[in-house]
Structure 1
Amino acid sequence: MRPSDGLFLLLAYLLLWVVLLCCDATRRSRESEARIALERTIVRSYALTDLCLSGEARYTRHLSQADIHAPFQDHPLALEHFPSGSLIPPPPHLARRTTP
C-alpha cells in the first residue's frame, strides 16, 4: 500500500461524513417545517412583536425597548436586583463617555 492510498481512504471517509451530514440536515429541516409553522401561528394569534430575552426587569426584556433611566428605576446607584442585568451589557451608545 502506497502512502497516497491512505490519503485517498481518509478523503473518502471524510467525504462520506459530509454526505451523511448533508442528508441529516435535509431530513431535520423537513421535520422542523411543521414546528415552525405552528410557532408562526402562535406568534400571529398572540400578536407577539419582539424577542423576549428575559422576563425580569423592563430594561432586559428587549434591548431595543430599553430607555436610559430604566436601570435606575428604584433609585440612583441601586444594586443590580436581577441576574440577567449582569449578563446583558448596556447598548454601546449608552456606554460611551461624554466629555464636558
Structure 2
Amino acid sequence: MTCRKSALFLNAVAFLALILAGLLVHARQRVNSAAPVVAANALLARQLQLTDLCVFTETGYTRNPGITGTASAFQDSPLSLEHFPSGTLMQPPPAPVWEPP
C-alpha cells in the first residue's frame, strides 16, 4: 500500500512545525538563562563608559563601521580582493539618500 503524496507532505510539515516549536522553546530558555550575564555586561559597559560595539578586531573598517569611509576597504586598490575574513561577513553601509536643497 502506498501513501498519498499529500499525506507525506502533511507529515513532513507537521514534523518541521514540531521542530520549530522545540527550537522556539529552547531559544526562550536560553534567553532567560543568559539574562544575568547580559545585565552584568551592560553594567560593565556603563562603568567603563564604552560607547561603540567592536564587531571585529582585524581592521579599522570592520571594527567600527559607523565611523569609517565607504572606500576604506579598498584602500590598497579598487580592484583588490578582501584579505580579512570579517570583511566578507559585513554588509556594506546603506547608500546615502540625496535630498534636494
- TM-score w.r.t. the length of structure 1 is 0.53
Report the structure number with the largest CA radius of gyration.
1
Higher helix share: 1
For the residues of structure 1 that align with 2:68 and 2:11, how far apart are their CA atoms?
56
**Matching residue's letter, 1:2:** C
Q: Hey, what's the Cα distance between the residues in 2 that align with 1:34 and 1:50?
A: 21
Deviations 1:50-88 (A, max 9, x none): 12346677x555344569xxxxxxxxx9xxxxx86xx49
Once the two structures are aligned, what percentage of the paired residues are identical? 24
- Residue 92 of structure 1 and its aligned partner are, at CA, apart by 8.7
Tell me the amino acid that sits aligned with residue 49 of structure 2.
Answer: A
Correspondences of 1:16-31 after superposition (within 5 Å) = 16-31=18-33
Distance in 1 (alpha carbons) for counterparts of 2:18 and 2:58: 47
Alpha-carbon shift at residue 5 of structure 1 (Å): 2.2
Task: Please give the alpha-carbon distance, in whole angstroms, between the structure 2 residues aligned to 1:35 and 1:46.
Answer: 16
Structure 2 residue ranges without an equivalent (≥5): 70-75, 77-82, 96-101
Aligned length, in residue pairs: 77
The 5 A counterparts of 1:20-99 are 20-53=22-55, 60=61, 61-65=63-67, 87=87
Shift of 1:41: 0.7
RMSD over aligned CA atoms reads 3.6
Alpha-carbon spacing, 1:43–1:8, altered in 2? closer, same or farther (3 Å):
same
Unaligned runs of 5+ in 1: 68-76, 78-82, 94-100
